[in-house]
Amino acid sequence: MRAWIDSLPKAELHVHLEGSVTAETLCEIDPSLTIESARAGYVYSDFAGFLQSFAFAAKRLTTPEHYALAARRLFAALERQNVRHVEVILSAGVVLWKGQDLAEVWRALQSVPAPFPVVWNLDAVRQWGIEKAWEVVTMASSLPRDGVVMSFGLGGDEAGGPARDFDGVYRSAQRHGMRLTCHAGETCGPESIWGALEIGAERIGHGIRAIEDPVLVEHLAKHAIPLEISILSNVRTGAVPSLATHPIRKLFDAGVPVTLNTDDPALFGSCLGDEYEVAWREFGFNQEELAQIAENGFRYAFNKENAK
């Protein structure tokens, strides 16, 4: 089964660049780190600790070349997994917070050759407030795209920044031709997902807690609003209490378009094949169903003419 999964052409719609930097690559980027200290920085026991591990990696990307190296390594890893379409989340909010020039980071990232189409999701840190998100969207909309599809999203601490607060920011991103996604329903409940939908999110990052609201599940299915699910992320950050309680099977069976993604492969010690394998092993998804999930990844990709 694993060989079949590995050979299946897959799309990755939700991977954070900073969360894809392995401890080994982080040591190359920051030679003052030992491999032991780099690995220790990736140890956490809850969602708050996970965000700290993410920051541990992100704050060491201090030059545009560091970002380019991270992208080169990520693209190579995904190519080995037979991934044919990639949407990478860049925490643009963190780039600006570090005082870096987003345009230079963007230029470095665009110089990295990719063996597949790449959509870039520029993400603001929701708990830092609306003004910081405006800075991200203003900067992002001024970047040269040369045909590259860009999307906008919110990440960080869901409880610290309700999506509805960012309505104007999302409208602006949309006016500037960006597609819209939003982390929601990962650590907060269905209300957070409703908020993300109200501000125009076309896909939902995680969205697993939709399962607590049957009306919302029906809405997602009826309007074909895809969820960017990452089972192993949800288990490892504690977003679900246990693997057995993950709602992916219930969401899929209810007709919600489900996709599988890695989220932060270096922080979870996972790859995209692992996500498909756990869906098969723990939730009984057969080959036909896994192929449908993989197909969803291409169908709901932001480089397609599928805007609602």
* Shortest distance (Å) from residue 205 CB to Zn ion: 5
- What distance, in Å, lies between the first and last C-alpha atoms of the chain? 36
The strand order across the sheet containing 83-90 reads 10-16, 83-90, 118-125, 150-155, 179-184, 203-206, 227-229, 258-260
Sign of the alpha-carbon torsion through 224, 229, 235, 239: negative
288 is catalytic: no
Please identify, using beta-carbon distances, which residue of 13 and 33 lies nearer to Zn ion. 13
* Shortest distance (Å) from residue 203 CB to Zn ion: 12
Kindly list the residues in this chain that would bind Zn ion in the complex (CB under 5 A): 263
Q: Give the 3-state secondary structure of residue 165.
A: helix
Distances in whole angstroms, Cα of residue 99 to Cα of each of 63, 66, 94, 178: 11, 15, 9, 24
* Shortest distance (Å) from residue 182 CB to Zn ion: 10
- Given 12, 18, 186, 275, which residue is catalytic? 186
* Shortest distance (Å) from residue 206 CB to Zn ion: 7
The tokens of 106 are what? 């963007």
Q: What gap in Å lies between CA 44 and CA 167, rounded to an integer?
A: 33
Distances in whole angstroms, Cα of residue 242 to Cα of each of 51, 146, 231, 233, 239: 19, 44, 10, 11, 9
Please identify, using beta-carbon distances, which residue of 87 and 263 lies nearer to Zn ion. 263
Q: What angle in degrees, to the nearest 10, is found between the helix axes of 214-222 and 190-198?
A: 40
Q: What gap in Å lies between CA 304 and CA 300, rounded to an integer?
A: 7
* Shortest distance (Å) from residue 270 CB to Zn ion: 13
Active site residues: 186
